Structure 1
C-alpha cells in the first residue's frame, strides 16, 4: 500500500514526468550519470532504449547496461559524434563546474535535431537554507555548500540563458522542481527526521518545500 502511494506521488515529480516522454527516443546520454539512478528508472520504463553515461567514476560503479565513458566535464569535450543522442540528462552537474559554457556547445553538437535536454540544478535559494546539525554522517545536502564540490547555484533566468545562449536550444520550460502532492506532509517529515535523526528525509522534504531545485527543458531546432 505504502509503495503504491509512493509510486503514485512520484509520478508527479518533474524529472519523472520528463522520463515518461522518452518513449520515442532511441539513444539517451546521462551527463554526470553517477551510479546510474536516473537511467535505471528510465530503463524500467523503456528497457529497449540505448543508454550512455559520462562521469569520473570507475566503470565498476556504473550499471552494466550503461555504455560508460570516463570524462572530465571541466574539459567540456564529449567523446561522441555529432547529432548522436535523442535525449540528454544533465542532473545536478552544472553547479559543480567552473566552466560550464563549453559543455553547452558540446550538448548542442551531440544532440540530434528535434532532440531534448533536461537540466536540473540547485536554486540560488539553497544558499540561505541553514545546514541543520542532524545526522551529518548521511552526507545529504541541505545548505548549498554542504557539498564541498559545489561551485555556484543557478537562478531560473540563468538556466534559461544557459539553455538558449550556450546550448543553442529552444527553451520549452524553466521552473522550480516541486511535487505539490508532497507539500502538505513535508513539515511532518522534517519534524520526524529531526526527532528520529534522518538527514536524508529532512533534506528531501526541505528541497520540496522550499523549491531548492530548478529545472529547464530545451529542444534542438529541426531546421
Structure 2
C-alpha cells in the first residue's frame, strides 16, 4: 500500500495520524529503522520532511533519498544529533528488544524541540496469549510474542508512560495501533489460505500492537 493514499485520510492508521501532525517541512527521526519499510511509507506520505534514521545494523541504501543514517546501539550509545533539533521521533517495535529504555527515552527528550512528539509502538501484552500460526506457515509470521526469538520482554503502556514522565515528557495519547483498512479486510481473508496479507489483516483486527505518544513540553 502506497501511503500517499493516506494523506487525506490519516485517521485510518495510527502511525499516519501521528505523521500527519508533524510540522510542514519538519524533521523526523526513526529509531530502529531495520529494513526501512516503515520509513519509506512515511516518505510516501510526507515527502516534505527531512528524515533521519538509526539502527544497530540497518540497510541505509534502502532508506529514502537524503535520509541521514547513524548506526549505533541504544542500549549503550548516545545519538549524534544536537539537542532541540527534531520535530518528531518514531520508534516502532524496538523497546521489546532493548535491555533498558532509560537511554532511549532520555535521548528522545534531548533531541526533540519543545512541543516535539515521540511515538512508541510495541506488542500488546495480549500477544503473550495468542496462538502461533499453525500448519506449514508456522514460524513464518510473528503472532505470539515469543515467536520472535529476539524479543526480550513485554513493555506495558503504563510502565512506558511512567518512564517517559520521569524523563520530562507529557503523555498525549495511548491505545491500540491499527490500520482500519487492513482490519476491515480480515473477514475477507478469514477463509483464505495462509498468506502474509491474511496474517497482517489479523493482527490489525485483533489489536496486536499498543502505542503511546509523548510530548516534550
Q: How many residues align?
A: 214
Question: What is the deviation of 1:143?
Answer: 0.7
Bigger mean CA deviation after superposition, 178-187 or 71-80:
178-187
Q: 2:200 aligns with which of 198, 204, 208?
A: 204
* SS of aligned partner of 1:82: coil
Q: Does 1:48 align with 2:48?
A: yes
Question: Whole-Å Cα distance in 2 between the matches of residues 62 and 137 of structure 1?
Answer: 30
Cα pair 1:124 1:153 within 8 Å, conserved: yes
Where in structure 2 are there 5+ consecutive unaligned residues? none
Q: How far apart, CA to CA, are the structure 2 residues paired with 1:37 and 1:141? A: 17
CA distance in 1, matches of 2:205, 2:154: 18
Q: TM-score, normalised by structure 2?
A: 0.86
1:32-181 correspondence runs (5 A): 32-55=32-55, 56-136=57-137, 139-165=140-166, 167-180=167-180
What is the CA–CA distance in structure 1 between the aligned matches of 2:139 and 2:63, rounded to whole Å?
21
Can you give the 5+ residue segments of structure 1 that lack an aligned partner in the other structure? none
Structure 1 match to 2:211: 215
Separation of aligned partners in 2, 1:114 and 1:13: 22
Helix, strand or coil: the match of 2:76? coil
Task: Return closer, same or farther for 1:183/1:35 CA change in 2, 3 Å cut-off.
Answer: closer
Task: Give the equivalent residue in structure 2 for 1:20.
Answer: 20
Closer/same/farther in 2, CA of residues 181 and 17 from structure 1, 3 Å limit: same
Q: CA deviation at 1:211?
A: 1.7
Q: TM-score, normalised by structure 1?
A: 0.84
3-state DSSP of counterpart to 2:80: coil
Inter-partner Cα distance in structure 1 for 2:116 and 2:9 = 28
The structure-2 alpha-carbon separation of the partners of 1:26 and 1:3, relative to structure 1 and needing over 3 Å to count, comes to: closer
The structural deviation recorded for 1:24 is 2.9
CA distance in 2, matches of 1:187, 1:157: 32
The CA RMSD measured in Å over matched residues stands at 2.7
